[in-house]
């Protein structure tokens, strides 16, 4: 029950943030190129215990990311780009992603996701432990 409440609360916070940023889409998308339009959408992380995470990929190439793990909350926005079957989430103000981002990381340093069908798979910190972002 506690996890359901946490996910509902996180969804409400994320939806509010998405609504605020959508009014500024032109600003958020400056310099973003995006990827295949079918990948745009709202994703939820599955398969990672005790972690709640959402990802919003916009058609204009911008994104918002939210993750909660224990007392560690992460939020990030920036540009997403597709290169073959890889999606890179590059935080605003950075030119590339960190290769070792995990739920334990402080702050959002960017991640690379693998496109597998309709899901985006996160190989967490290169550990082999994977979570799936699904619409």
The more confidently predicted of residues 112 and 23 is: 112
Encode pLDDT of 34-77 as tens digits: 778 899 999 999 999 999 999 999 999 999 999 999 999 999 99
Spatial CA neighbour of 21 closest among 73, 68, 56, 70? 56
User: Beta strands of 1-129 (E only): which ranges?
Assistant: 41-46, 51-57, 62-69, 72-83, 86-91, 111-116, 119-123
**Which of 1.10.10.920, 2.40.128.300, 3.40.50.300, 3.30.300.20 is the CATH number of 2-134?**
2.40.128.300
Q: Token match 């590059």: residue?
A: 90
**pTM greater than 0.95:** no
Statement: residue 25 has pLDDT above 70: no
pLDDT band at 28 (very low <50, low <70, confident <90, very high): very low
Domain borders along the chain are 2-134
């Amino acid at each position: 029950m506690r996890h359901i409440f946490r996910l509902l609360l996180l969804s409400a916070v994320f939806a509010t943030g998405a609504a605020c940023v959508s009014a500024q889409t032109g600003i958020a998308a400056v310099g973003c190129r995006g990827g295949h339009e079918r990948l745009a959408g709202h994703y939820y992380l599955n398969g990672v215990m005790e972690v709640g995470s959402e990802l919003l990929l916009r058609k204009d190439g911008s994104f918002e990311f939210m993750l909660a793990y224990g007392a560690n909350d992460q939020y990030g926005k920036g540009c997403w780009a597709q290169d073959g079957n890889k999606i890179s989430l590059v935080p605003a103000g950075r030119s590339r992603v960190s290769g070792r981002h995990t739920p334990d990381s402080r702050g959002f340093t960017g991640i690379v996701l693998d496109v597998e069908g309709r899901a985006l798979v996160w190989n967490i910190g290169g550990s082999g432990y994977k979570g799936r972002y699904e619409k």
